[in-house]
Structure 1
Amino acid sequence: MTMSTNSYLEFYLSLLAWIINNGIWNTLVDTGLFAVPFGAIILQEWLSARQQGADEGNKGLLSIPRVENRLWMAYVVILFACIPFFPLNLSSITYDDAASQRCGVSLAEPADTSWDTTFNTIGDKSANVPVWWFLVHALSKGITAAATAAIPCAPDIREMRMEIDSSRISNQVLLQEVADFTRDCYGYSRSRLFTNRPELDKAQSYDASWIGSSYFLNTAGYYDIDRSRTPRVAWLYDEARDTSLPQLANGAGYPNCKQWWSDADVGLRARLLAEVDPSLISRLEGWLTGRTNTEVEDATLRELVSPRQQSISMSPGQVFQDYGSSARGGSVTQGLNNLATNTGLALGSFSNFPAMNALRAALPMVQAFLILGAIISLPLVLLISTYQLKALMTVTFALFTLHMLSFWWELARWVDSSMLDALYNQVSSTDQTLLSLPTSGFMDGTVTAQVIEYVMGAMFVVLPMTFVGAMSWAGYAVGANIEGMLNRGSHSAEASAAKGTSQLMTAAKKSAR
């Protein structure tokens, strides 16, 4: 028999929880504390019987059925919900990745993470699971998995946008080369564009606002005539191309900007693309259907080389601060402008990691720790409640509810992605689609972003809280109803005992006469 989990953190904590749970129960058994509730049950029912009126019959006979029913139910609770029965080890607890495989999402297995050695260490200690909690776990996980499977597959658009925002050029040499390309190529071509003043439509104007502009690459008089001002070892010196330029001993040449950017193996575009996670590109291509691979890649590179991204990675005064021509100015005024720019960009960088993204990442972790706490506290909760069915059902519904939270968060994620897809995937330009995704909530300053944050806050927090409240009430009500049924059964026994006592007393009085 197996028990499934939805994350490797839950995998680890569940195994740890049952080991501690077994230790607590074994301590209660060894010390005899597990039997204390039996005495409490007898005392409670005896005191309850003494509170009855004189017309209820013999107090001793009245309390016997109550004590018997309570003790039998306590035995049942101990047998099925306290005594560890099913062995639990690394082979019987598994990580359930069926949903991720169905939707084509690749997630790390426990053995592929740093948790693997910890699992093996904990696995040396055996743990068992009581019958009732094993069934509750299997039922709750099965219902959660079935409900989650009913949700259609959808890409996690907000996560992809956050990955784009957090992408940086880690190679410092390549980072400096981006700055050189901006100075030697984009700056001159942009100035020439302002001088020539060609008629550009909206799409061309948008495209001409970054260093990998297809307009500058494919239009004569721009990147085809501009060149690198310093020799590049990746391009050999060409007599025809590099006439009148100094030839170095290492044979480095002076590529024109179109070559510098577009060459298949050594071009700046190819090397920048290697800095991006290939899985991110694949997911973007899967979402932005109808757009070519080149369009998706250029949109991602546009974000990667944007001044906003580079301001965090490079030192002020050493790199371009914008795509204008005054980035390297050395005046006091320009220094103050750069300081203000950097300050604004630093403040704006907080918008790249909104609280919603942190909340989404933290909630499943909190869920795993809550399940850990619930499992560890089971023996003590049942002991203190004197093994009552009401307590058992309440804790059962609580554990079921904690497992079911995975479905509500997956539903909220799907609704979030679907809203973003409907609102932003219809934009004609791929670049504009990626740039317009609302990652900063209120900082975006748009009504749409604020509404989305309100809705997602309710979906991720308020709706699960409502479900938790409803299930808590249901668990308490079910426990109270079951206990009421048992009490009604004991009342009939009490009535029979009282009736028998009354008849005996009547017969005794008649014989005395």
Structure 2
Amino acid sequence: MGVSSYLEIYLTQFGWTMYNGLWDVLIDTGLAYLPFIGMFLRNIVEPITSQEAKDASSVSLRRIEIDATTMFAVLVIAVQPYMTVSYNNLSYTRACDPSGNAVAGGNTGKTYDTTFTAAALGGNNALVPIWWYAVLAVTGGINDAAILGIPCTANIRLMSFSIDNARVKDPQLRRQVQMFYKDCYRHAMAMFLDHNQPYPNILPKEDLNWLGSQFFLNGTYQTARASATVPGFTYDPNRDLEYDPNVYIPVDGKPTCAQWWTGNGHANGIGLREALADQIDAGALTTFKQHVANTTGKPQDEVENIAIKTLISREETAFNGLRNLNSYNEASFANAASSAGATLGSFMEAISFYPALYAMKAAAPIIQAVVLMLIYALMPFYFWFSSYKPGKIIFMSIIVFSVKFWTVLWAIANWLDNNLIEAIKPSWYNLQLTNNLLVEMIIDFVIGGLFVVMPLFWSGLLTWAGFRVGASVNEVSKGLGDAPKSAGASGGNKVKDSISKGKK
């Protein structure tokens, strides 16, 4: 049986385990039989109070037969647990997964496997009424078929969030970046400005605005060196001339800025650029490079540079001096305007839906699984208070279907989100830039509304439909009892008329 998320695998069993426990409580205390007592009393009292006792007895008997039959049918089909469900036979298939393999409970590879054990869930399996077992199977199949029809797109929101929220966790690497800025970048920029070095037209203007500038790597970085030894870079007597090998040979050397950045001369071949790239989640970075390279035609190394630029820009407060990298070639007035724009951009970014939408996407299947668990767990009281009316089965079935169908609605919203981002903001991958805030806000508000409003509207619409259908079923059941009632009342009236005529 298919479900919509990893968590739903386990919460489905737990919800039905709670259902079994609560239903057993109603059975053991005798409360489960109170609706039958109420039905007997109602069907005896109502006909007596509305017609002759002789006719009322036949009406009561007929109504009791019909109501008892329907109530027992509801009990057997939709209330009494019978079918076995276990997290071992529940599975989840990720949409657009190249393998297409369904992952069963206990083997998801998530921490859910060790948290939601059989002991934590109250047993190895739970029992489900026949009707609800069929409803879950049918709705799971409908969801899978509907999602299969939605074209697969790259999860831009997830890629953006992963790259945008990467941080430098290694304090030694932080120190190296600060040193590189002071010893290499600041020195190279000063040489460029003071000596009026010609800038090639083949390089974009923004190349100067970050530590790994190609212009500096092929120029000043070739001769400029680190002011202190850098761990991992071996001593080179032809380069590190400040040391007399006859007196002292240092453990590490002082690489040139180009070596320091690229890793040439490092014991493990790891330069500052690669060390920064390693701070980003490998899977997210690989997906980011492949997708952006395929859609824009940029080389993957250039796309990786964009990710590293984003990482550095998000760490500006930790890297002293780096916050002004983007304003070296600007006039003083432009600097002030840029600073004001950056402040406004930071404020707008703080209140932006961008991280909130990612969190909303991550929380959506959890919320759905919890809602379904509560529906399953509390269903015994629902049927008990409704006196096991058949129409309530249809009503609750539509509610369960509507909540499980949220998965399809979110898949549609996710597809629209990714395509809107690429259509309206094709340069979305330049995450270090704070332009097009209005466009970002528009997309965020639209998709945020879809993720919240669309499921609520859908569930509300189907709930109303379920209420109408359930009411119609109940009316049919009621009509079966009203027919003998009207016939009995008609017979009683004829008897009264005959007696009245005889007296006359």
TM-score range, shorter chain: 0.7 to 0.9
Q: TM-score, normalised by structure 2?
A: 0.85
Matched residue, 2:396: 395
User: In the alignment, is residue 60 of structure 1 matched against residue 51 of structure 2?
Assistant: no
In structure 2, the residue corresponding to 1:291 is in which secondary structure?
coil
Distance 1:376 1:500 in 2: 48
- Which amino acid in 1 is paired with 2:471? A
- Which amino acid in 2 is paired with 1:260? W
Matched residue, 2:281: 277
Matched residue, 2:315: 309
Matched residue, 2:39: 41
Matched residue, 1:486: 477
Task: Please state how far the C-alpha of 1:255 moved relative to its aligned partner.
Answer: 1.5
Distance 2:185 2:101 in 1: 38
Task: Please state how far the C-alpha of 1:252 moved relative to its aligned partner.
Answer: 2.5
In structure 1, the residue corresponding to 2:74 is in which secondary structure?
helix
Contact 1:424 1:433 in 2 (8 A): no
User: In the alignment, is residue 435 of structure 1 matched against residue 417 of structure 2?
Assistant: no
Distance 2:160 2:103 in 1: 18
Percent identity (aligned): 27
Task: Please state how far the C-alpha of 1:347 moved relative to its aligned partner.
Answer: 9.3
In structure 1, the residue corresponding to 2:84 is in which secondary structure?
strand
Distance 1:292 1:106 in 2: 35
Pairs aligned (count): 479
In structure 1, the residue corresponding to 2:233 is in which secondary structure?
strand
- Which amino acid in 1 is paired with 2:305? D
Q: Which moved more, 1:18-27 or 1:6-15?
A: 6-15
Matched residue, 1:441: none
Task: Please state how far the C-alpha of 1:258 moved relative to its aligned partner.
Answer: 1.0
Quick one: which of 422, 446, 450 aligns to 1:455? 446
Matched residue, 1:172: 171
CA 1:246/1:192 → structure 2, altered by over 3 Å: closer, same or farther?
farther
Matches within 5 A, 1:2-17: 3-17=1-15
Quick one: which of 277, 293, 296 aligns to 2:303? 296
Distance 1:454 1:75 in 2: 50
User: Which consecutive residues of structure 1, in runs of 5 or more, have no partner in the other structure?
Assistant: 328-337, 439-443
Task: Please state how far the C-alpha of 1:138 moved relative to its aligned partner.
Answer: 0.8
Matched residue, 2:16: 18
In structure 1, the residue corresponding to 2:97 is in which secondary structure?
helix
Q: Which moved more, 1:484-493 or 1:151-160?
A: 484-493
CA 1:235/1:70 → structure 2, altered by over 3 Å: closer, same or farther?
same
CA 1:78/1:60 → structure 2, altered by over 3 Å: closer, same or farther?
same
Contact 1:45 1:63 in 2 (8 A): yes
CA 1:127/1:67 → structure 2, altered by over 3 Å: closer, same or farther?
same
- Which amino acid in 2 is paired with 1:228? A
User: Which consecutive residues of structure 2, in runs of 5 or more, have no partner in the other structure?
Assistant: 329-338
Task: Please state how far the C-alpha of 1:201 moved relative to its aligned partner.
Answer: 5.2
CA 1:190/1:436 → structure 2, altered by over 3 Å: closer, same or farther?
closer
CA 1:50/1:198 → structure 2, altered by over 3 Å: closer, same or farther?
farther
Matched residue, 2:254: 254
Task: Please state how far the C-alpha of 1:455 moved relative to its aligned partner.
Answer: 0.8
Matched residue, 1:205: 205
Task: Please state how far the C-alpha of 1:236 moved relative to its aligned partner.
Answer: 2.5
Matches within 5 A, 1:18-417: 18-50=16-48, 52=50, 58-92=55-89, 94-102=90-98, 111=107, 112-117=109-114, 118-121=116-119, 122=121, 124-195=123-194, 196=196, 198-199=198-199, 204-218=204-218, 220=219, 222-244=220-242, 248-263=248-263, 265-288=269-292, 289=294, 290-306=297-313, 308-311=314-317, 314=318, 319-323=320-324, 354-417=355-418
Distance 1:364 1:110 in 2: 18
Distance 1:343 1:490 in 2: 71
Q: Which moved more, 1:44-53 or 1:99-108?
A: 99-108
Q: TM-score, normalised by structure 1?
A: 0.83
Deviations 1:426-483, CA, capped at 9 Å, x for gaps: x4xxxx7332788xxxxx7732122112211221111111101110011111111112
What RMSD, in angstroms, separates the aligned Cα atoms of the two structures? Answer: 3.5
CA 1:272/1:130 → structure 2, altered by over 3 Å: closer, same or farther?
same
